[in-house]
Structure formats: structure tokens, C-alpha cells
Amino acid sequence: MAKHKPIPQFKNEEEERKFWAVRDSADFIDWSKAEKVVFPNLKPSTKSISIRLPERLLERIKADANRQDVPYQSYIKTVLDKAIQ
């Protein structure tokens, strides 16, 4: 089994980012001993967007969301997700 190189100490995150950008982590870490990790509270990144909708459409969306007792923006995300799957 090959001996792995020691991981150097970094002054900051930028220095570490540059280091790993040009190196294979397998030279430094034995990935066969890695354990699977789950981050149950990790929330996906979101990005705010702006979209223009006809007022009638927005009224219908809000009414449907209200019938399902969910915020209309959450309802829009659910509808969009279903539509693209």
C-alpha cells in the first residue's frame, strides 16, 4: 500500500483552494477508509429571482396555494419542480 503524503498547513482558505485545485487528493488521503457522512440539517442553496406574472395568474396561484394551506411562493416551487420532472 502506498504511503500518503502529509497534508500541509494552510494560512487561509484561498491558499488551500489553490493547493487542491492542482493536486489529486488520493495522493494525500486513503479514500478506501472513508466513511459515508450524512448532513441531515443541510439546506440546499437558494437564489432569489424576479419574475413577472399576469395578475390573474398570480391570483389563481395564490388561491390554489391558500386551498392547500401553503405559502404561494412555496406552492410555485412545488409546481415548477413537478413540471420539470
Question: Looking at the domain assignment, is residue 56 inside a domain?
Answer: yes
Question: Looking at the domain assignment, is residue 11 inside a domain?
Answer: no
Question: Looking at the domain assignment, is residue 8 inside a domain?
Answer: no
* pLDDT of res. 3: 85
Structural domains counted in the chain:
1
- What digits encode the pLDDT tens for the residues 10-69? 999 999 999 999 999 999 999 999 999 988 888 888 899 999 999 999 999 999 999 999
Q: With a threshold of 0.95, does the pTM exceed it?
A: no
- Look at residue 1 and tell me whether its pLDDT is greater than 60: no
* Structural domain for 76, as ranges: 50-85
The helix (run of H) or strand (run of E) holding residue 60 is helix 55-67
Question: Looking at the domain assignment, is residue 85 inside a domain?
Answer: yes
Instruction: Spell out a b/e string for 1-37, using b for 16 or more CB atoms within 10 Å of the CB, else e.
Output: eeeeeeeeeeeeeeeeeeeeeeeeeeeeeeeeeeeee
Question: Looking at the domain assignment, is residue 38 inside a domain?
Answer: no
Chain centroid to CA 30:
26
Question: Looking at the domain assignment, is residue 74 inside a domain?
Answer: yes
